[in-house]
Structure formats: C-alpha cells, structure tokens
Amino acid sequence: MRLFVGVEIPGDIAAELYPLARGIKGLDAQAPENMHITLKFIGNVDPGLAAEIDQVLSDVRFEPFDLQVQGLNVFASSRKIRIFWAGVKDQPIMRKLAARVESALLTLEECPDMDMRKFTPHITLGRNRDAARATIEQTVADHADLSSRVFTIDRFCLYESHSTQDGPEFRVIAAYDGSEDPAQKLVPMDDFAMEGME
C-alpha cells in the first residue's frame, strides 16, 4: 500500500486548472479527480501499519481554514523541469496542519519511511515527459496572475496511490475533520484494512 496525506481540491477548480497542463505537448496532465495538496507523503506500508497511521491521524486537531489557488510554478533541476504545479496563497493554518500530521506520524513505533523534505504546498498539474522547457516557462509567465475563488478546507484525507497504465490514481480511504468524534471518519479503517489483505 502506497499512502500519503493530503487535502482535496474542489472539482470546479480542478476542472479549471486541468487545461493549463493538458495544452502543453509532452506533459502528462494530472486528471482533475486526482488533484490535491499533499501534506505528507508516507510511501509503501503494510495494512497493519496503515491501521496505526489511521489511528494517529484521527487524533490530529485543526480548525477549518480558507484557501485560494494563486500562480503557477515548477519543480526543476538544471537539466529538466520535472513537475508543473499551481501554488496556493500562503496559509499558516495549513502549514500547522502539515506539521501536526508529520508529528503524529513520527510518534509511531514503526515509523514509516516518509519524505522529510520541507513542506511546499502545491497542486501538481502535470509531470514532464519531454515538454520543452521554454513552453512550460512561458505558460507560467502567461498565468502569473492566476487565482481561484476562495474555498474552505474542513477535512484532510489519507489517500492510497495506485499505478495504472494511464498513470497514478489516488483514492481517499479515510477522512478526518479534526473533531473529537471518531465517527466523523469517511471510511472505517477496519473495513479498509480487510480490503487490503484480500
């Protein structure tokens, strides 16, 4: 099981972002239904550890917060642009949430081999196969004033990533609204753990 923690992007905003990457030849565009902001990439774990991850995430508390997409950017090396992405207006509450998620995961006795890079909130729009650097950079420049409507984040999710012939697919397997009531989870993790072992 390949897991990560993230927050969802409203469908209408994802649909508006999709053509930006879809229009660049040589870029593998992220499907709108897969768009999200990763709070913490966890990696491959067995179902038993997934159940423990679910438990510690259930204890993470946060207040709902507003978010807004703002601008485009890339992750790149000196040789190649790797990821084309949309940024978000800085939101300290989201940074605190990401830190709390990381801290919760680090309390696990069998801590997963997580990505420990600095949190950079972004929405991946496309992965570069062989697109021209100049074309991507021009798209970033042309949409420097890009912004979305303001939307509210009132939950975060545990996702499972599946590899397919058409690229990765991400499925929400549990959701947490930061309340004290564990019944608020979208999917009971016991049921999910059973699925993972079938």
Q: pLDDT tens digit string along 14-23?
A: 999 999 999 9
Q: pLDDT tens digit string along 122-132?
A: 999 999 999 99
**What was the pLDDT predicted at 185?**
56
Q: pLDDT tens digit string along 73-116?
A: 999 998 899 999 999 999 999 999 999 999 999 999 887 778 88
Spell out the domains of the chain, with CATH numbers in brackets: 2-196 (3.90.1140.10)
The mean pLDDT of the chain is 90
Q: Is the pTM of this model over 0.75?
A: yes
Measured N-to-C along each axis, helices 47-58 and 92-106 cross at an angle, to the nearest 10 degrees, of: 130
> CA 44, 49, 52 angle in degrees (round to 5)?
135
Q: Which helix (H) or strand (E) holds 147?
A: none
Is pLDDT larger for residue 19 or for residue 165?
Answer: 19
In this structure, are strands 81-88 and 123-128 parallel, antiparallel, or unpaired? antiparallel
